[in-house]
A and B are shown apart, each in its own frame.
Chain A
Amino acid sequence: MSVHTEEVEHISGATTGTFMKVWIVLLVLTGVEVLLAYEQVPTMIMLTVLVGLSIIKAALIIAYFMHLKFEKLSLFLTLFPMLIFCIVLMLIFLGDATRIPNMRPPV
């Protein structure tokens, strides 16, 4: 019986304890984000930290909740480099946005 249980847990890749831990870490990271908003940290630091924390949270959700950590590496390699590449391509244009306010004629 115990052998059977071990087999099942091996197939599913993670235990409920792991999921609980990941959930708690996600809640703590959300708490840190809200605390940063309350402390009114300077905008650029705030943005960098928030995006960093969000990427960590997304990685945790994808790896554990969405089970990608326990899938074949080829699935990850098929999906994510392309996604990251496309998002980075989009971000190239963000530099334009910082120039636009300076290009407006004075009122």
Chain B
Amino acid sequence: MWLFIISDSLTFSALLFAYTYSRVTNPDWPKPFDFSPAIIFSTVMTFCLLSSSLTMVMAVHSMSHGNRKACAGWILATMVGGGAFVVLHMSEWLKLINVEHVTAFDNPWGVPLFGGTFFALTGLHMTHVVLGLIYLAIVAQGVARGKFKAEDVEVSGLYWHFVDLVWMFIFPLVYLMSAKVG
């Protein structure tokens, strides 16, 4: 899992680099995120993901103490946090697409690269979250049925924390750097 995480880190680094490069190259890069509601919205998403990381740590901790029931419960709590993140993120995407008319190739602010880099970066991250939810669901039901060892839960935890970690870079670089106040 560590090797996967390192290689995936490089993929996300490359996408974040592409975003930053495009942004520096275009001085008229748009600032589409109003402080209220868009930034507050994404801050809540960050809170969901950070809290789900805490519950995942608790799941790994319970499993290492041999408490399978508590572990399955904590994994379910993690999935609730992750699920909330996906729902909030999707509604934000839909608002950008339907209300602001941003697509991957065009947007009203005249810098088409914004849509391409934004959707590629956040889309790949959201894919990771969705796959993580499926992964956690499989692990949770296995743990509840007495399958899987503590190491297996720890490995799924590593993946989930990695997804959280990536968001810790996307949130400031993509959202906070494009915040519009007033």
Residues on A lying within 8 angstroms of B by beta carbon are: 8, 11-12, 16, 19-20, 23, 26-27, 30, 33-34, 36-38, 40, 43, 46-47, 50-51, 53-54, 57-58, 61-62, 64-67, 75, 79, 82-83, 86-87, 90-91, 93-94, 96-98, 100-101
- Chain B residues contacting A101 (CB-CB under 8 Å) are 25-27
Given contacts A40-B181, A54-B169, contact A20 B54 (CB under 8 A): yes
Q: Are A82 and B17 in contact (CB under 8 A)?
A: no
Asked if B10 is an interface residue, CB under 8 A from chain A, the answer is yes
User: Whole-angstrom distance from the CB of B156 to the nearest CB of chain A?
Assistant: 12
Q: Are A67 and B154 in contact (CB under 8 A)?
A: yes
Q: Chain B residue with minimal CB distance to A80?
A: B6
Considering the chains assembled together, what is the distance between the CA atoms of A104 and B93 in angstroms?
32
Chain A contact residues, majority secondary structure: helix
Chain B contact residues, majority secondary structure: helix
Residues on B lying within 8 angstroms of A by beta carbon are: 2-3, 6, 9-10, 13-14, 17, 20-22, 24-27, 35, 39, 43, 46-47, 50-51, 53-54, 56-58, 60-61, 64-65, 154, 157-158, 161-162, 164-165, 168-169, 171-173, 175-177, 179, 181
Q: Are A61 and B176 in contact (CB under 8 A)?
A: no
Subset of 15 A-B contacts with CB under 8 Å: A11-B64, A23-B51, A34-B43, A37-B35, A37-B39, A37-B179, A46-B176, A46-B177, A50-B173, A51-B173, A54-B173, A65-B57, A65-B164, A83-B6, A93-B17
